Every structure is written in structure tokens, then in C-alpha cells.
Amino acid sequence: MEPNPVSPGMGGDQRVGLGSTRFSLPTLGQSLVWRSQCLARGHALPRPKLGPHLEFPAPLPAAARTFPRPGGAGRSRPALGARPGWAPPLELWPGGGRQGRGGGGCSPGRAGRPFHVCKRSRTPRPTRAAQAPHCVRATLLAAPMAFRGWRPPPPPLLLLLLWVTGQAAPVAGLGSDAELQIERRFVPDECPRTVRSGDFVRYHYVGTFPDGQKFDSSYDRDSTFNVFVGKGQLITGMDQALVGMCVNERRFVKIPPKLAYGSEGVSGVIPPNSVLHFDVLLMDIWNSEDQVQIHTYFKPPSCPRTIQVSDFVRYHYNGTFLDGTLFDSSHNRMKTYDTYVGIGWLIPGMDKGLLGMCVGEKRIITIPPFLAYGEDGDGKDIPGQASLVFDVALLDLHNPKDSISIENKVVPENCERISQSGDFLRYHYNGTLLDGTLFDSSYSRNRTFDTYIGQGYVIPGMDEGLLGVCIGEKRRIVVPPHLGYGEEGRGNIPGSAVLVFDIHVIDFHNPSDSISITSHYKPPDCSVLSKKGDYLKYHYNASLLDGTLLDSTWNLGKTYNIVLGSGQVVLGMDMGLREMCVGEKRTVIIPPHLGYGEAGVDGEVPGSAVLVFDIELLELVAGLPEGYMFIWNGEVSPNLFEEIDKDGNGEVLLEEMLQEKSCWKKHIKCRRRVQK
């Protein structure tokens, strides 16, 4: 490419075209002559440029005799062929900037410092000491300055040395050039994609001469070499050798001199006409046009809801690189990763990869680096320009705007009453997480959970979910964490967990309830009704509201006999037996505060249980009239009544009864006194 002539008024740009491996400077001499004149007159030197993608800083003043080399400012050497008026050589070292930046993103430097220059980057960047010889290294011995009385050396003395080294892997005879030898030493069983021209790759390599002497290795730097393929950033042989490789493939590449550094070599590193051997292992591959890749390998049969933007999720994951190396795992920490989706809490690729997942779904999300941690990595475990693979299992999903959801499983046909705020419920439940993990069960304790509802005795979601149930109903209540145990969780319930309760309502009542009596049969003659003091014989079946049988006189084959109103049965039963006629059949429902209370009967009647008695009255013996009645447990005097009736009026008055009652406490003495 013919350079444009430089004129003082045009800002000093001098552009020289780039060949495939060398520069040609047909008019660079006259340009530098003009520059030397500017220097002699005290003008600032303009900045020359070589080609549209390669820039060189301005040379140092002629007085300079040395220039810094990689490794520190204190190390220097004389300029090659330096004479009075010569600018020091300008060296451009391999690599396109810091490792992991793909050979680009260089920044302008100062004159006289070593620089990285990659063919596709516009601005050079200060080099590191430990860079692999894979990009373009250029050494320019600039033209002499034109001082008064001194003639510059002829243009042939100008030396432009350009060398390029690449990274590659082994495979035989796959290159486009017949002299390039490639041996495929290992090819993985699965190879979803191969390297194409324009792809970005990360790989390890060892570079040796045919005699086995090593001249370079990425392993020594403990860092992969990262570069674009097919864009002139590598020597020709390596550019060709990488094409068609799979991740985890290993190739041995033998590159002839004409596809490497030719007859010039690299001073102090690569002798002229050297055949180069590269043992290459490909670690990563991506393209700037790549998108997030999603592979779902398990999806539950039922998927009522999927992840949407702003949802909060809990998931487990294994994070690996493309070569399978594990860099992180939530399983190892035994704790899910909990986060919002789609609002910037995650890397962009993960935000996108999680959308549309169901609870229980498992998918593999592959993310290119520009949608992950980019050129810099995470500074710890993830290197720059690394593709990431996440194996994700979604455990939980909710949105902060969610309320509880209720799914009725079994609703009794006869539902005379539904629960209301203030009722006391007894119910069984299984408590699970959304993924089905059981965290609690009343069945395992063989005891119902008993509580008031609507009064804050349970979590808000359950307070709401237990309203409106029927006795015997089964329902599923899904409670989001903000209506459950929140971000902190409790016990074996993790923070921010959605809870699923499968409940079975056994019974409920209200503290204001009285007994309920339903008469199923009355005989035609039902004029004599039971009352307090009557002696009753009856059969019964006793059960809970859910139908569980507790006791039965029919099974025992004998009636139950009591004196009504004498405290021989619970208060609710005493009330339920009144005003019955012989032969009548009725059902009496007794709330626990009129039955066996919160304690129940150990091993027989649960605490706080509502009781159901199916009763049939078989016999009624009228009791004594209203008055005073007592039972004498000791020996009874034949004249007991007369002995109590002190005034002999044929009636026992209250005073006389109380007097006799005081004697009961001293039974023997009383008897003796009465006998006297």
C-alpha cells in the first residue's frame, strides 16, 4: 500500500500499508527526513501510523541512546546501529494487551516504551514481561534524524522485523497447506461445535523445536492463551491448525518455516528457518455472534408456572467451564442460590437462561463471556474470556406480589358449616417445599395440629388458607415466603422458601358453641321425657367428627346406666340426654369445652376434640322428687330417717341435713351419738 505524503499542516499522519507478514516502507525515508527537520527546528514530532490497524508512537529525540525493555526500567541496551542523530529502535511485543482480553483493547503509550500490537487493534498497549509469542511483534529501527551537517543513512539500512506466533493443537494433515502436519492425539466423544475462522479460543500449548527443546509454554504462565482465529493474530500455520478443533481436543502441530517465522526467525528466540512443534489443548471456544444456549434435559409433567422477570427463585447449580472444569457449586455448600431474575442481580446470560423454567426443571445453560464475566473474569476463579456452563435445577419460584393459592382436593358433599375467624381447628398436614421435600408432618407425630385461626396463632398464609374449610375437607395451600417464614426461614425450612401444605380438616368448633341435638326417631307415644334425677339405660356409639369410632356399648353388649344430672357423664352428654323418651334415637354433638376439654382422655379421646354420640334410650326410671338425697355408705340404722328428723315433724329440714352432714365427717362418733 502506498503511503500518503505527509505535510506539516495535516497533523503528521503517515500511513503505511500492511502485508501479510511484513511492512514495506517505500517512502518512509523522506517522511522521516521531514520529521528530522521538524525536530531540528524545535517542532514536536508528529505520530506516524502503519496501516489502518497498527500504530507506532513517535520516536524519541536523537540524544537517546538506550530504551527500556520488558522487565523493568533499569534494564536497557544500546540502540541497534545507533549513531548520533538516530532514534532508538521501537519494539512491539506480542499479545494484544493483558492476558484474557483476546488481543485487543490496547491503550496509547509513550515514545520509547515497548508495546503490544495486534494486527486488528488500533492502539498499542504496554506489554507484560511474560507474553506468549502469538500476536504480532514488530521492531522498527527508525530512520536517522536529519540534523544540520549530517546525512541520513540510505533507506536500505532501515530494518523492519515483524514476527507472529500463534497457539494451536495437534492433528495430522488437516491444514489447508500441504506442508502443515496435524496429528489429532485426543478427540472427545462429544463435539457439539468446532473452531471456525472468526471464533475466539482459549487454549494451552507447549512450543518446542524438533529436537524437543522448549521455547515457550502457556502452562508455565498458568494461563491459557486467548486469541481470535483467522484474523491474522497468529502465524499462518497456527491459524490453519486450530480450525476444526473441539473443546478438550488435543492436537500436535508441526509448522514449517514458511508458515511460521521464515528465514528471519525471531532474534534470541526462534532461529531462522525453524520448524516449530506445538502441543495444543483447546479449552474454550465462542463467537461474538453467540447467544445463550439452553438445553432442558428434565421437565416435570406438570408445569403450572414458569419464571418471569422480577420473580424470586431458589436453585441449585454446578458451574463449569466448557472443558468440564468445575469452578463453583451450590451443592457443595449445601445451600441454594437465591436471587431475583431479570433485574440485574445476575450476569446477563444467567438472567436470560433462567426465564421460562418450571419448578423441578433441570437445564444446562451455556453462556458466552460477553454475557458473563467478560474480559476480566471474576478476579478469583473465573478467568477472562471464559465461556460458562451452568447445570441448574430449579427448586422454588415466587413473586413478591403473590398471595396464597388454594387447591381443593376433597370437599364433602354435605358441608353444613365452614370455618371462620376465631374458630378452633384440628387438622392433619404434610408440609413440603415446592420441589416436594418434606419438612414437617402431623401424621408422623400421630397427632393433629390444633389452633385458633384468624388470630395470629399460625403464619399469615395458613391463617388465610384455613378459612372457609369444611369438616373432612382436604386442600392444598401454597404459601409464598412473605406470608410464611420470610427470608430467614425456621428450623429445616430454608429462607425465602415457598411452602406447600396438604391439609385434612378433622374438626373445628367455636368457644361460643353449645351442643347440637338431632333427633332421628321418636316413638308415637313420647309423653314421658327424661329429666334430672331419672335413672337411664341407653346404648351409644361415640366418634370424632371425621367418623373415627371411639367407643360403643353395642360392641360391649351392655347398656350404659346413669342417674341424669348426677355428674356421671360429661356436661354435654348430660345436656344431650334430657327430654328424651324411651325408644328415641338422636345424635348429640358436643364441643370440647363441654366434653373432655384440651386434655382429652389419654389414649382414648384427643384433646380439644368435638365428640359425636349416636344414642338410643332403652329404659327410664323416674327419679325421686326434688329435695335432698344422699347415699349412706356405712351401716344404716333401721330408724335412720327418724334419727335425722330431729323435731319429729316427718320432714328433714335443711338445718337438720347440715347437722347430719357434719356427722358424716365423723361417721362412727355420729352413729354413736344418734344411737344414744
Amino acid letter, residue 424: F
Which residues, at least 6 apart from 359, have a Cβ–Cβ distance to it below 8 Å? 300, 305, 394, 395, 396, 397, 434, 435
DSSP E strand stretches across 435-559:
438-441, 449-452, 474-479, 499-509, 516-521, 535-544, 549-552
The answer to whether 423 touches 452, Cβ cutoff 8 Å, is yes
Which residues, at least 6 apart from 580, have a Cβ–Cβ distance to it below 8 Å? 529, 530, 586, 615, 617, 620
Cell digits for 438?
A: 418434606
SS3 content of the chain, % helix, strand, coil (to 5): 15, 30, 55
Question: How far is C-alpha 316 from the chain's CA centre?
Answer: 5
pLDDT category of residue 625 using cuts at 50, 70 and 90:
low
Q: What is the pLDDT of residues 188-239, one digit of tens each?
A: 999 999 999 999 999 999 999 999 999 999 999 999 999 999 999 999 999 9
User: What 8-state DSSP symbol labels residue 659?
Assistant: H
pLDDT category of residue 647 using cuts at 50, 70 and 90:
confident
Cell digits for 624?
A: 325421686
Identify the pLDDT of residue 629: 59
Q: What is the pLDDT of residues 397-425, one digit of tens each?
A: 999 999 999 999 999 998 989 999 999 99
Identify the pLDDT of residue 635: 75
pLDDT category of residue 152 using cuts at 50, 70 and 90:
very low
Identify the pLDDT of residue 633: 66
Average pLDDT on 99-107 reads 30
Identify the pLDDT of residue 640: 75
Q: How many CB atoms are closer than 10 A to CB 650?
A: 8
User: What 8-state DSSP symbol labels residue 594?
Assistant: G
The CATH fold of domain 516-621: Chitinase A; domain 3 (3.10.50)
User: What 8-state DSSP symbol labels residue 602?
Assistant: T
In a 3-state reduction of DSSP, which class is residue 431? strand
pLDDT category of residue 641 using cuts at 50, 70 and 90:
confident
Residue 134 has pLDDT above 70, yes or no: no
Cell digits for 101?
A: 482480553
The answer to whether 572 touches 551, Cβ cutoff 8 Å, is no
In a 3-state reduction of DSSP, which class is residue 618? strand
Identify the pLDDT of residue 157: 25
Residue 79 has pLDDT above 60, yes or no: no
Identify the pLDDT of residue 6: 28
If we measure between CA atoms, which residue out of 70, 75, 91 comes closest to residue 142? 91
The answer to whether 246 touches 191, Cβ cutoff 8 Å, is yes
In the chain, how many H helices and how many E strands?
A: 11, 33
Most confident of 25-29, 541-545, 658-662: 541-545
CATH code, residues 293-398: 3.10.50.40
Buried-exposed string 623-645: b where 16+ CB fall within 10 A, e elsewhere: beeeeeeeeeeeeeeeeeeebbb
pLDDT category of residue 646 using cuts at 50, 70 and 90:
confident
Calculate the alpha carbon distances from 286 to 156, 231, 374, 385 in Å.
44, 15, 12, 9
Residue 668 has pLDDT above 60, yes or no: no
- 648 vs 425 pLDDT, higher one: 425
Q: What is the pLDDT of residues 483-504, one digit of tens each?
A: 999 999 999 999 999 999 999 9
Question: How far is C-alpha 245 from the chain's CA centre?
Answer: 34
Q: Residue 161 and residue 15: Cα distance in Å, rounded?
A: 17
Which residue reads 347430719 in cell numbers?
660
Amino acid letter, residue 357: M
If we measure between CA atoms, which residue out of 283, 280, 102 comes closest to residue 205? 280
Identify the pLDDT of residue 651: 76
Q: How many CB atoms are closer than 10 A to CB 402?
A: 19
Buried-exposed string 424-452: b where 16+ CB fall within 10 A, e elsewhere: bbbbbbbbbbbbeeebbebeeeeebbbbb
The answer to whether 202 touches 225, Cβ cutoff 8 Å, is yes
Q: Does domain 181-286 have CATH number 3.30.450.20?
A: no
Cell digits for 26?
A: 517505500
Amino acid letter, residue 243: V
Averaged pLDDT of the chain: 76
Amino acid letter, residue 326: L
Calculate the alpha carbon distances from 420 to 59, 298, 425, 465, 656 in Å.
90, 42, 10, 11, 54
Average pLDDT on 262-266 reads 92
Q: What is the pLDDT of residues 321-366, one digit of tens each?
A: 999 999 999 999 999 999 999 999 999 999 999 999 999 999 999 9
Q: How many CB atoms are closer than 10 A to CB 381?
A: 14
Phi, psi (rounded to 5 degrees) for 332? -65, -30
Cell digits for 257?
A: 518455516
Q: What is the pLDDT of residues 301-322, one digit of tens each?
A: 999 999 999 999 999 999 999 9
Q: Residue 335 and residue 157: Cα distance in Å, rounded?
A: 69
Q: Residue 166 and residue 158: Cα distance in Å, rounded?
A: 27
Quote the Cα angle for 9-10-14, to 5°.
125
The lowest-confidence range among 10-14, 283-287, 404-408, 424-428 is 10-14
Identify the pLDDT of residue 347: 97
User: Where along the chain do the CATH 3.10.50.40 domains lie?
Assistant: 181-286, 293-398, 413-509, 516-621
Q: Residue 231 and residue 234: Cα distance in Å, rounded?
A: 8
Cell digits for 67?
A: 530504551
pLDDT category of residue 630 using cuts at 50, 70 and 90:
low
Q: How many CB atoms are closer than 10 A to CB 339?
A: 17
Q: Residue 497 and residue 573: Cα distance in Å, rounded?
A: 46
User: Radius of gyration of the chain from Cα atoms?
Assistant: 49
Helices (H), 516-552: none
Strands 115-116 and 90-93, by their bridges, are parallel
Q: Residue 386 and residue 407: Cα distance in Å, rounded?
A: 46
If we measure between CA atoms, which residue out of 275, 284, 271 comes closest to residue 255? 275
Q: Residue 266 and residue 91: Cα distance in Å, rounded?
A: 13
Identify the pLDDT of residue 179: 87
Q: Residue 592 and residue 612: Cα distance in Å, rounded?
A: 11
Q: Residue 632 and residue 646: Cα distance in Å, rounded?
A: 18
Identify the pLDDT of residue 648: 80
Which CATH number is 413-509's, of 3.30.360.10, 1.20.1250.20, 3.10.50.40, 3.40.50.150?
Answer: 3.10.50.40
Q: How many CB atoms are closer than 10 A to CB 77?
A: 12
The answer to whether 254 touches 293, Cβ cutoff 8 Å, is no
The answer to whether 167 touches 179, Cβ cutoff 8 Å, is no
Buried-exposed string 255-273: b where 16+ CB fall within 10 A, e elsewhere: bbbebbbbebbbeeebeee
pLDDT category of residue 639 using cuts at 50, 70 and 90:
confident
If we measure between CA atoms, which residue out of 67, 56, 69 comes closest to residue 123? 56
DSSP string, 188-206: -S--S----TT-EEEEEEE
Give the CA count within 13 Å in the CB-facing half-sphere of 367. Answer: 25
Q: Report the residue count for the chain.
A: 676
DSSP E strand stretches across 289-410:
293-298, 312-321, 326-329, 337-340, 362-367, 388-398, 405-410
Q: Residue 453 and residue 447: Cα distance in Å, rounded?
A: 18
In a 3-state reduction of DSSP, which class is residue 668? helix
